[in-house]
Structure 1
Amino acid sequence: MRHLPLDGGGREGVGAQTPGQPLVSIHNLHKHFTTGRALFGPRPILRAVDGVTLDINCGETLGLVGESGCGKSTLARTLIRLYRPTSGSIHFDGTDIATAAERDLVPFRRRVQMIFQDPYASLNGRMTVRDLIAEPLEIARIGTPQSRTAKVHDLLARVGLHADHANRFAHEFSGGQRQRIGIARAIALEPDLVICDEPISALDVSVQAQVVNMLEDLQDQLGLTYLFITHDLSMVRHISDRIGVMYLGRIVELASNTDLYRRPSHPYTQALLASIPVPDPTAARPAAPVAGEIPSPLHIPSGCRFRTRCPIATDLCAASEPELRDIGGGHLAACHYAGAAPPQPAA
């Protein structure tokens, strides 16, 4: 395996890439955890990510949605190599980083950054904002103390804060301001890919819109690529170019923004979209919201993993797991009946 180029970070790396071409290619990725103790036999295995194949193109925003516990955050943390994959490959800009040693990941970590869900938990309360944002620059040995301070002030201005905020601590800010600090730290090294792990879920609605608009502006200014993980189906529709729907460790549908909302083809996607609140309570819904609880990843159902909650499940669904296939126009769905007339439920 070749090493990642040491000079690949920053805008030089983006210049070498072609918009619309895959920046990240994930193939058959698995991340399993062993849990608890077994009196007899092997320890139980939790299959958090269970065979994900996915491309993230340069310059795009790929939205990732699904219920809590479906593996979205585990996928993101495996992609950024906070977790070592159980199996599969992660090609970043042509280099497989899934099995890379930690010392070989140093240049990769400059090019991929993460914005976490809880801004307060991700910020060291004993460090000033200046030190928090300058820390990536110091670790990467970029610039002098004076130039790093100037860089911090520039980053604060980019995220809508003032230079005098640099001398304060995280507890002195509101939740929205803390998230802005986290975003400033994430873009300090001018990465190619930013993973946004539910960055707006802990914020007020009015602040959510401000943060999302700011992320879009930063993407235009810096040429960023986003993986945007969220529960908010309305917001992901606004910000994403393509949307992936994840269920119990796997991608069950993947399509462009407009196509997914115009013709959702997997029953799970249809149920998620039906659960979006509408201003008119008398308005007709296309399907019933998803019912029941998501099964445990310790005991994944046979065949189609959604069949225990699916209104059109048949014996075929229990016997074989559907593949993620193209049903037309690059719209992918993992359902035996996607793109065809669904079976009629038994009387």
Structure 2
Amino acid sequence: MTQPLLELRDLNKHFRLPAGPFAPKPVLRAVDGVDLTLNKGETLGLVGESGCGKSTLARTVIRLHEPTSGSIVFDGQDVGTVSDRRLGSFRRRVQMIFQDPYASLNPRMSVGDLIAEPLIIAGMGAPADRRKKVGDLLDRVGLPSDSAQRFAHEFSGGQRQRIGIARAIALEPDLVICDEPISALDVSVQAQVVNMLEDLQADLGLTYLFITHDLSMVRHISDRIGVMYLGKIVELATSADLYHRPSHPYTRALLSAIPVPDPEAARAAEPMQGEIPTAINIPSGCRFRTRCPLATELCARVEPPLHELGNGHLSACHFAEELAAQASLNPAPQQE
């Protein structure tokens, strides 16, 4: 069995928040014991509601946030505790596409300078070589070569995201973390960007951690999908298995909200009450029990671990086997 490109072991990222003079500082458990592996060349989708910890996980993996505990093993090396001085080679091999193309590009720098900046920081090539590399990257992401002399505000949102993608692949990384890269774009542009990401993956051998809240799009691009709730992975499976055999009530509720063209073929709605609890005061036992229609006294006492259902399908629910069997007998509608 080949070694995973990225392996997270019991990864935690907690934030201590300010408190009053006589009260202890509350702890926000944004990422709370995540175990995850990502194999070279695959796309792992990560979904969940806003506030579940997806972006914090991504920023912790790339060491924009320092992990509270746990390990981040990249290509066999634990980079979770490596000093900033020794992170250079890791950061050349792991790049990030940010959610907001408006905020992630310096408005005072030309597009050519923006894309060339990582090459300069890494000390790669002479100025003439970098200019040629910038032209090649612009062509690869579908932008004209004269874009290098222009500024980010002169482009549309989709074009700005293409600039961000060109900058992310400039150093020819192994892993690209895509933090909601299409959420700020029009639907038609979203499809173009996703298709381009797939082409780049095929051409450059990239590995993606693809974070999104768009469940229909993540199915299209992902080999496997992890579902995150209140800082933990509650279900992980291949894309096909997750959609046809969801075995966690939270996953079932998310999937039932996806619109389909034929209302008669739509998945029956799964009730989910209330708002996501705060990560400062996580419920005892199963953290989804306060919103789950199946919750019992057992769920309040015992936190269910991720356990195997077969074919690499993991679920953290006391009733996972029953839900998976039920889904197999009543499969989800096909979606294009």
Same fold (TM over 0.5): yes
Q: Deviations over 1:71-111 (max 9, x none)?
A: 00000000000000000000000111111100010110000
> Which of 158, 177, 193 is equivalent to 1:195?
177
Structure 1 residue 103 and structure 2 residue 85: aligned?
A: yes
Structure 1 residue 288 and structure 2 residue 288: aligned?
A: no
Q: Deviations over 1:94-141 (max 9, x none)?
A: 111111100010110000000000011000000000000000000000
Q: Do the aligned partners of residues 220 and 237 (structure 1) sit closer, same or farther apart at CA in structure 2, a change above 3 Å counting?
A: same
Q: Structure 1: 5+ residue runs without aligned partners?
A: 1-17, 343-347
Once the two structures are superposed, the pairs formed by residues 261-280 of structure 1 within 5 Å of their partners are 261-280=243-262
Structure 1 residue 128 and structure 2 residue 123: aligned?
A: no
Structure 1 residue 170 and structure 2 residue 149: aligned?
A: no
- Residue type of the alignment partner of 2:5: L
Shift of 1:327: 1.3
Q: Deviations over 1:302-340 (max 9, x none)?
A: 000000000100011000100011111110000011013
Q: Deviations over 1:161-194 (max 9, x none)?
A: 0111110000000000000000000000000000
Shift of 1:341: 6.3
Q: Structure 2: 5+ residue runs without aligned partners?
A: 325-336
The 8 Å contact of residues 274 and 289 in structure 1, kept in 2 or not, is answered as no
> Which of 37, 50, 62 is equivalent to 2:32?
50
1:255 is paired with a residue of what secondary structure? strand
Q: Do the aligned partners of residues 341 and 55 (structure 1) sit closer, same or farther apart at CA in structure 2, a change above 3 Å counting?
A: closer
Please, what TM-score do these two structures have when normalized by structure 2? 0.94
Structure 1 residue 72 and structure 2 residue 23: aligned?
A: no
Aligned equivalents of 1:160, 1:120: Cα separation in 2: 19
Structure 1 residue 24 and structure 2 residue 12: aligned?
A: no
May I ask how many residue pairs the two structures share in their alignment? 324
> Which of 237, 240, 245 is equivalent to 1:255?
237
User: Hey, what does 1:327 align to over in structure 2?
Assistant: 309
Q: Deviations over 1:127-158 (max 9, x none)?
A: 00000000000000000000000000000000
The 8 Å contact of residues 260 and 266 in structure 2, kept in 1 or not, is answered as no
Structure 1 residue 307 and structure 2 residue 289: aligned?
A: yes
The 8 Å contact of residues 272 and 289 in structure 1, kept in 2 or not, is answered as no
CA-atom RMSD in angstroms: 1.3
Aligned equivalents of 1:160, 1:106: Cα separation in 2: 29
- Residue type of the alignment partner of 2:7: S
1:340 is paired with a residue of what secondary structure? helix
Please, what TM-score do these two structures have when normalized by structure 1? 0.91
Structure 1 residue 204 and structure 2 residue 181: aligned?
A: no
Aligned equivalents of 2:297, 2:286: Cα separation in 1: 10
1:226 is paired with a residue of what secondary structure? strand
User: Hey, what does 1:115 align to over in structure 2?
Assistant: 97
User: Hey, what does 1:3 align to over in structure 2?
Assistant: none
Once the two structures are superposed, the pairs formed by residues 228-243 of structure 1 within 5 Å of their partners are 228-243=210-225
2:250 is paired with a residue of what secondary structure? helix
Shift of 1:282: 4.3
> Which of 128, 146, 157 is equivalent to 1:146?
128
1:339 is paired with a residue of what secondary structure? helix
2:72 is paired with a residue of what secondary structure? strand
Structure 1 residue 245 and structure 2 residue 227: aligned?
A: yes
- Residue type of the alignment partner of 1:249: G
Shift of 1:280: 3.1
Aligned equivalents of 2:273, 2:154: Cα separation in 1: 42
- Residue type of the alignment partner of 1:266: H
User: Hey, what does 2:331 align to over in structure 1?
Assistant: none
- Residue type of the alignment partner of 1:295: P
Structure 1 residue 214 and structure 2 residue 196: aligned?
A: yes
Shift of 1:273: 0.1
